[in-house]
Structure 1
């Protein structure tokens, strides 16, 4: 490896170490429901979404409701990603004219990305349209990690009682 490569690794490590304390503290405040720098912007949006959803923000959710919400959320993510992959031939942002993904491959890919294992058994740009990659895989990469963090926080809260 070159000197430049080692320097990049060292710089990356230094940036990660420098961000541990401020980001960790921020995440702790968010998960504990404390005020943060972004609260004036985020809290009104959050309250509006809670009001639309009929959720009482101060009421704790039981494990059964939480588990059900996670199953429904990830189940809907799976169904939407599977449908996107199966219907990509007729959807926009498909300039290469990619055909619909085969049922077994669409199932495998949707399951993989919803569970955040991201096992790819296809040829990327030679199989998936831009829309499938952007709206399907990228969104699932984000929300599957977020739902995993939500489960971890719920477990920590549950065991911390």
Structure 2
């Protein structure tokens, strides 16, 4: 089977999976953000935060809640990065320098996840788990919350400007959407060979007889939410190109699906929340057209030139 046929088959498989989950996941997310009920674990969280999840916020209060929560996230993540060398599970990682720690904190809290460092060297397991992975969850949940608040703004145009409750949206997005999806995805990645442990560096002998230091760690759990949150970098800062976080063709397809799962279901959520599903289909059609055009253009560009990499990808 030629490489081109394999690529086309993988693209079609991704499209089929996204088409299959679009309606059920989109409807589910609409129910999550419109349900009057609160789960027991959610109520416990609200008591800890001392917030009333049923108090509707005007857009300005909602915005201040987003900014305040994000500022707290920046400060906590900055502190973890600066102090990781004296915390458990540092696996020998030194403290990040102030500029690097600030860059990491701001980028992860804003869901841009720009990583200037090598994951094997600069970030210990505790920072990866309690800092970076947690921010992958909550920054994605903040993005979902802001998107839903915007949708409510459209649906309630001409009213008093109340767009929901940020704390309720944040908790529900994390607990009811991202956590379950990430849990299942992490188990699938572990089954596919992605590393998930708390091991430090291990010396191994390569096929050529050389010695190489290989780092273990909680990779699969971070990889799952990294993809669901549509982020790059990752545990090894290799954009899922590292064999310890993406060891097989089917895990690569799974990770592509995870990247697109929530964004391509949100148009359905939009249509349900505004009370006109046709608008959701229209948004999805535009997104699908742009995606198909980008895939076609990039595939042509990557297979058009000579060289070993284009040849491996199916170039003539």
Shorter-chain TM-score range: 0.7 to 0.9
Tell me the residue number matched to 2:102: 107
| Shift in Å, 1:55 | 4.0
- Measure the CA separation in 2 of the matches of 1:111 and 1:58: 30
RMSD: 2.0
Q: Which runs of 5+ in 2 are unaligned?
A: 157-316
Range with bigger deviation, 108-117 or 132-141: 132-141
* Shift in alpha-carbon separation, 1:111–1:51, aligned structure 2, 3 A: closer
When the two structures are superposed, what TM-score results if normalisation uses the length of structure 1? 0.84
**1:56: how far off?**
3.9
Question: Given the alignment of the two structures, is residue 70 of structure 1 paired with residue 66 of structure 2, yes or no?
Answer: yes
Provide the C-alpha distance between the structure 2 equivalents of 1:50 and 1:85, rounded to a whole number of angstroms: 28
- Structure of greater relative contact order (alpha carbons < 8 Å, 6+ residues apart): 2
- Structure 1 position 29, deviation (Å): 1.4
In the TM superposition, residue 63 of structure 1 has moved relative to its aligned partner by: 2.0
1:144 to 2:139 alignment: yes
Q: For residues 78-124 of structure 1, what are the alpha-carbon distances to aligned partners after superposition, in whole Å with 9 as ceiling and x for unaligned?
A: 111100000011111122x1110000000011111100111111111
Gap runs ≥5 in structure 1: none
The 5-angstrom pairing of residues 11-160 of structure 1 reads 11-33=13-35, 43-51=39-47, 53-95=49-91, 97-160=92-155
Cα distance in 1 for residues equivalent to 2:122 and 2:67: 29
Equivalent residue pairs, number = 154
Q: CA deviation at 1:46?
A: 3.0
Residues 122 and 53 (structure 1), Cα distance of their counterparts in 2 relative to 1, 3 Å cut:
closer
1:144, distance to aligned residue in structure 2 (A): 0.5
- Secondary structure at 1:98's aligned position in 2? coil
In structure 1, the residue matched to 2:257 is: none
Please identify which structure carries the higher helix content: 1
After TM superposition, the score normalised by the length of structure 2 is: 0.45
CA 127–5 in structure 1, closer or farther in 2 if over 3 Å, else same: same
Distance, in Å, in 1 between the alignment partners of 2:73 and 2:51 is: 21
Cα distance in structure 2, aligned partners of 1:89 and 1:125: 14
